[in-house]
Amino acid sequence: MSTVQGRLRIAIQKSGRLAERSLDLVRDAGLRVVKGNNDLLYRVENYPIDLLRVRDDDIPTFVADGVCDLGIVGENVLEEGRNGGPVAEVLMPLSFGRCTLKIAVPPTLDYDGPRSLEGRRIATSYPRVLRRYLDDHGVKADIITMRGAVEVAPRLKLAHAICDLVSTGATLEANGLAARETVLDSQAVLIRSPVAPEPALAELLDSIVERMAGVVASQG
Ligand code: PRT
Ligand code: ZN
């Protein structure tokens, strides 16, 4: 599908925490990005490449299905999206967008390891990743899925604990929650489609990946 227009497609987050750094990486790799006449698509003027600007949650599927050839997304989103279908290949970590998916609890919950979560209710935006973690630790707990504002769930008595992304820890602290377990360490990664591009674009794709690797390496 990516090949119908004779152009490669790279999926990046439209706006949010990864958007700017993703665009920087593309530019540093030598791609001259120009805004198209719509917000969704930016064009690269010196190569047959388009940037598809979407919500980060859509990126793993677009790349896995071959709608896009490359993508930049957080490992947390990639892990949550795993559903037994085709998967994008992780080419390299990008050293930005670092965060950790953690289980955090209020001081009122007597905590002594994952077993303390048995029979409890945990609010999260990452139900699949959390379920795998709980299964691995032999813990049976109820998961309630929230799209945002997960950190307020204990105060509203919606849940006994939360499982959410943490970077500075300020959000947990502001909500009187203490981090107890690390479920997943995450950063942005470059992913590649399992669907091959049209032959005329294969070499370009490899060279773009190589240049991005060079940029990442030079940033130490
Ligand atoms: O609109 P779209 O769906 O594309 O964006 P989004 O709202 O889903 O994601 P966005 O832009 O918030 O985050 C994009 C990616 O950045 C995430 O998927 C992570 O890979 C990465 N990232 C890095 C983070 C954080 N750090 C982070 N701190 N994503 C979210 N947070 C949130 C967290 O959920 C919590 O609410 O920030 C808060 C905690 O931050 P601290 O600093 O208070 O600990
Ligand atoms: Zn999202």
User: Which pair of structure tokens corresponds to residue 102?
Assistant: 């953690």
Q: Residue 3: pLDDT band by 50, 70, 90 thresholds?
A: very low
For residues 110 and 108, give the distance between their C-alpha atoms in angstroms, rounded to a whole number: 6
Helix (H, G, I), strand (E, B) or coil at 70: strand
Distance 21 CA to ligand 1 centre (A): 14
**Residues 60-84: tens digit of each pLDDT:** 999 999 999 999 999 999 999 988 8
Rounded to whole angstroms, the Cα distance separating 26 from 11 reads: 11
State the pLDDT at residue 83. 82
> How many residues comprise the chain?
220
Model confidence pLDDT, tens digit, residues 16-47: 999 999 999 999 999 999 998 788 999 999 99
Report pLDDT for 96: 98
Site of tokens 């920087």: 24
DSSP code, position 131: H
Q: What mean pLDDT is reported for the chain?
A: 96
Q: How far is the CA of 28 from the centre of ligand 1 (A)?
A: 24
- Express as a percent the part of the chain with pLDDT over 70: 98
Phi then psi for 172, rounded to 5 degrees?
A: -60, -50
Q: What gap in Å lies between CA 66 and CA 59, rounded to an integer?
A: 11
CATH of domain 8-97+187-218: 3.40.190.10
Q: How far is the CA of 200 from the centre of ligand 2 (A)?
A: 33
From 99, 101, 186, give the residue whose CB has the most ligand 1 atoms within 8 Å, as the site to mutate.
99
**Closest atom of ligand 1 relative to the 17 alpha carbon:** 11
Looking at the chain, which residues constitute the CATH 3.40.190.10 domain(s)? Answer: 8-97+187-218, 99-186
* 178 pLDDT tier (thresholds 50, 70, 90): very high
Q: What are phi and psi of 90, to 5 degrees?
A: -80, 120
Among 123, 128, 113, residue whose Cα is nearest residue 157: 123
Characterize 133-151 residue by residue with b for buried, 16 or more Cβ atoms within 10 angstroms of its Cβ, and e for exposed. Answer: bbeeeebebebeebeeebb
Arithmetic mean of pLDDT, 133-142: 98
Predicted confidence at residue 2, as pLDDT, reads 43
pTM above 0.80, yes or no: yes
CA-CA distance, 25 to 208, in Å (whole number)? Answer: 11
Q: How far apart are CA 200 and CA 182, in angstroms?
A: 44
Q: Indicate if ipTM > 0.85.
A: yes
pLDDT of 1 strictly over 50: no
Once rounded to an integer, what is the mean pLDDT over residues 103-117?
97
The token pair at 38 is: 């719509």
Task: Give the helix/strand (H/E) hosting 162.
Answer: strand 161-166
pLDDT category at 4 given cuts 50, 70, 90 is: low
Fold entry, domain 99-186: D-Maltodextrin-Binding Protein; domain 2 (3.40.190)
Q: Which of 76, 165, 186, 189 to mutate to test the pocket of ligand 1 (most atoms within 8 A of CB)?
A: 165
Q: How far apart are the C-alpha atoms of 214 and 138, rounded to whole Å?
A: 43
pLDDT number for residue 220: 77
- Please tell me whether residue 208 adopts helix, strand or coil conformation: helix
Q: What is the mean pLDDT of residues 126-146?
A: 98
Q: Which of 64, 38, 121, 153 is nearest to 51 (CA)?
A: 38
**pLDDT tens profile 199-209:** 999 999 999 99
